[in-house]
Amino acid sequence: MTIHESQSDFSFVRPSHRTRPEQLVGLGIYLSVCVAFVFLSRLFAQPFAILYAVFLAFGMWALWRRYSLRVLKLELSVFLAQFLFQLGARFEVPLLALVSLLLLFCTTLLAALLLWKKEHTAGMLYFYPLCWVFYVASMYMMQCIKGTSC
């Protein structure tokens, strides 16, 4: 195996059809969108919110740099649906907030599987957001079961 062949195993090393400035602008856009929606939702504590947003942004960016948006219609739709459910978790009605959190977990899992199918590294980047949403949803459900501030 040559050095060139071994480097092709990593998705961030694989060549992109986009120029380096396009890739940097795209990364900035994905990071901005993710951070904005995570802070609008106020769903997580700040250090974890930043990590959550960064992993979401890098996962989608890893796909975007290799594929056109025309190819990524489904992945991008699920990616954007996650933000709607994040905002829905702010509902004052506890049942709606819980349903929104569960739907957020489902869309995060779906996004991870879709990204994994096209690019393994992008799918692996969704492991942290998936675990974190599971943790937040389970803590919220435990509060609801105990009857404290559900």
Q: Is residue 133 part of a domain?
A: yes
pLDDT of residue 8: 45
pLDDT of residue 38: 85
pTM value is 0.82
Q: Is residue 11 part of a domain?
A: no
Q: Is residue 6 part of a domain?
A: no
pLDDT of residue 98: 86
Q: Is residue 14 part of a domain?
A: no
Q: Is residue 39 part of a domain?
A: yes
Q: Is residue 3 part of a domain?
A: no
Q: Are 101 and 136 in contact (CB under 8 A)?
A: yes
pLDDT of residue 59: 93
For the chain, what is the domain count? 1
pLDDT of residue 110: 96
Q: Is residue 5 part of a domain?
A: no
Query: For residue 147, is pLDDT > 80?
Result: no
Range of the domain at 135: 19-146
Q: Is residue 7 part of a domain?
A: no
**52-109 pLDDT, tens per residue?**
899 999 999 999 999 988 999 999 999 999 999 988 877 778 788 888 989 999 999 9
